[in-house]
Amino acid sequence: MTISVTPLSGALGAEIGGVDVSMALDDGTVAEIRQALLDHQVIFFRDQDLDMAQHRAFTLQFGELFVHPNFQLGQDNAEFVMVRREPGDLRIIGEDWHTDTTMIATPPMGAILYALEVPDAGGDTLFANQYLAYDALSNGMKQMLDRLSAVHNDTRVAGPGTGLNGQRASQVREDADWRPTENAHAVVRTHPETGRKCLFVNRVYVHHFEGMTVAESQPLLDFLYAHAIRPEFTCRFRWRPGSIAFWDNRCTQHIAVNDVHDTARHMRRTQIAG
């Protein structure tokens, strides 16, 4: 192998060394990185120097760019989401456990997040392995969940009813022309590359099980939300400037820890189409 792969925890996550991702990578190195992603669900790179063109080029080696509909405010480079936290912000992007953008019909395959400016301490990101979350369920629970779908929409994270733009630097569509996006997905997903089953529900986007009311759905959803992020399913990544996190959105959840209130945290994200 041309890269090194160092596991970060027993559950998921690995640091990748021996590669400068700002350069054009040969097919063999791309294949090794992709295999590391499949093996570890989220991979991390340190001390990388990426401008926007290099960030875009690195992303394109793994699939087509996904343009997030709720962050389109007329800016250039629409495929980038600037994840900004300024001193005094009350809210941040990703402050609750979630899988990205699951309200669309085909959610993104993954995301590549690059650190521009981060606090000396705090502002970490946690990831949770949803293969392990599914595997740890009882056989009876698995059989029941295998038959269910859940309804996902984006009403908690965009639109005029959220009031998010008044509480954080990262802005989202809240205009009167915004309309929710809603789709149903299987509660148990089979990963298209590994063939493994994983849990595919998250508290940010899921509202109820298909064919059930919110009240009927909530007790089981609350159990699944808590179960999916048990400590033994997780890893924690401490950011430094120039760090990259590349996660498989099909089999993980993540959360940005909102524990830094008086310093800036600036990141740049691309997403890969599903």
Q: Which residues are catalytic?
A: 98, 100, 254, 269
**Quick one: tokens of 177?**
């022309």
Cα–Cα distance, 88 to 85 (Å, whole number)? 9
Locate the DSSP E strands across 26-156. 42-45, 65-66, 81-85, 110-117, 125-129, 149-153
Residues sharing a CB contact under 8 Å with residue 235, sequence separation 6 or more, in sequence order: 8, 9, 11, 12, 13, 42, 126, 127
Going by the DSSP 8-state scheme, the letter that residue 98 receives in this structure is B
Residues sharing a CB contact under 8 Å with residue 172, sequence separation 6 or more, in sequence order: 70, 71, 157, 158, 162, 164, 165
